[in-house]
Chain A
Amino acid sequence: MNLKPETLAEIEEAIPKYPEKQSAVMPMLHAIQKDQGLLTNEAAEWVAAKLEIAPIHVLSVITFYPFFRQHKIGRRHIRICRTLACAMAGGAKVCDKMLSEFDTRLNEVSPGGEVTVEFAECLASCGTAPVMLVDDEIYENLDEAKAQEICEKIKAEVIQA
Chain B
Amino acid sequence: MSVHPKEQRIILKYADEPGYTPDIDCYMKNGGYEMLKKAVGMEKQAICDEVKNSQLRGRGGAGFPAGVKWSFVDRKSGKPVYMVCNCDESEPGTFKDRQIVHKDPHQLIEGIIISSFATDCAKAFIYIREEMPKGAEILNQAIKEAKEKNFVGDDILGSGYSCDIVVHRGAAAYICGEETGLIESLEGKRANPRIKPPYFPAVLGLYMCPTIVNNVETLCNVLHILRMGADEFAKIGRPNNTGTRIWCVSGGVKRPGYYEVAGITLGELVYDICGGPKDGRTIKAIIPGGSSMKILKSGERFTGKDRDGNGYDWGIEDIPLDYDGIAAAGSMSGSGGMMVLDDSVEIPVALANLMAFYSHESCGQCTPCREGSLWLKKITTRMVHGQARPDDVDLMKSVADQIEGRTICAFGFAVAWPVQSYLAKFEDEFREFAERHSRMGGDRTAAKELACNH
Bound Cα distance from A83 to B250, whole angstroms: 12
Instruction: Give the complex CA separation of A79 and B189 in angstroms.
Output: 25
Asked if B449 and A122 sit within 8 Å, CB to CB, the answer is no
Does A61 touch B at the CB level, under 8 Å? Answer: yes
In the complex, the chain B residue whose C-beta lies closest to that of A138 is B134
Closest chain A residue to B123 by CB distance? A19
State which of B97, B133, B339 has its C-beta within 8 Å of the C-beta of A85.
B339
Contacting residues, chain A, for B132 (C-beta < 8 A): 124
Q: Taking the complex as formed, is A66 at the interface, i.e. its CB lies under 8 A from any CB of chain B?
A: yes
Tell me if B401 is interfacial: C-beta within 8 Å of chain A: no
Tell whether A65 pairs with B451 under 8 Å between CB atoms, given A20-B207, A125-B95: no
- Tell me the A63-79 residues at the B interface (CB within 8 Å): 64-68, 79
Residues 90-145 of A at the B interface (beta carbon under 8 Å):
90-93, 95, 106, 119-129, 133, 136, 138
The answer to whether A122 touches B189 (Cβ under 8 A) is: no
Interface size class, chain B: 35 or more
Q: Would you call B452 and A124 a contact (CB within 8 A)?
A: no
A61–B189 alpha-carbon span in the complex (Å) = 6
Whole-angstrom distance between the alpha carbons of A93 and B93 in the complex?
A: 20
Hey, what's the 0/1 contact readout for A44-78 against B, CB within 8 Å counting as 1?
Answer: 00000001000001001100111110000000000
| Separation of A85 and B341 alpha carbons in the complex (Å) | 9
Q: Which residues of B contact A82 (CB under 8 A)?
A: 353, 356, 452-453
Which residue of chain A has the shortest Cβ distance to B445 in the bound complex?
A92
With A64-B173, A67-B172 given, is the CB distance from A124 to B95 under 8 Å? yes
Is the CB–CB distance between A127 and B257 below 8 Å? yes
A26-B168, A92-B452, A126-B248 given as contacts; is B345 within 8 A of A57 (CB)? no
State the CA gap A37–B254 with chains docked (Å).
41
Give the residue name and chain of the B residue nearest to A86 (CB). B452
Complex interface residues of chain A between 13 and 29 (CB less than 8 A to chain B): 17-20, 22-27, 29
User: Which residues does chain B contribute within 8 Å of A22, judged by CB atoms?
Assistant: 187-189
Per-residue A-contact encoding for B96-123, CB less than 8 Å = 1, 0 else? 0110000000000000000000000001
Residue of B nearest to A93 (CB): B449
Interface contact A127-B250, CB-CB below 8 Å: yes
Given the interface pairs A18-B166, A57-B188, A88-B450, the reply to whether A124 lies near B207 with Cβ below 8 Å is no
Instruction: Tell me which residues across on chain B come within 8 A of A64, comparing CB atoms.
Output: 173, 190-191, 363
Q: Is B350 an interface residue (CB 8 A)?
A: yes
Jot down 15 A-B pairs with beta carbons below 8 A, ordered by A.
Answer: A17-B164, A18-B166, A19-B207, A60-B189, A61-B190, A67-B170, A82-B452, A83-B291, A84-B92, A87-B451, A88-B252, A121-B174, A122-B90, A126-B95, A127-B256
- 4 further A-B contacts with Cβ under 8 Å, apart from A19-B207, A26-B168, are A82-B453, A121-B361, A128-B256, A136-B134
* A-to-B contact residues, CB < 8 Å: 17-20, 22-27, 29-30, 51, 57, 60-61, 64-68, 79, 82-93, 95, 106, 119-129, 133, 136, 138
Query: Can you list the 7 inter-chain pairs with the closest CB atoms, starting with the nearest?
Result: A65-B171, A126-B250, A25-B188, A92-B449, A85-B250, A22-B188, A122-B92
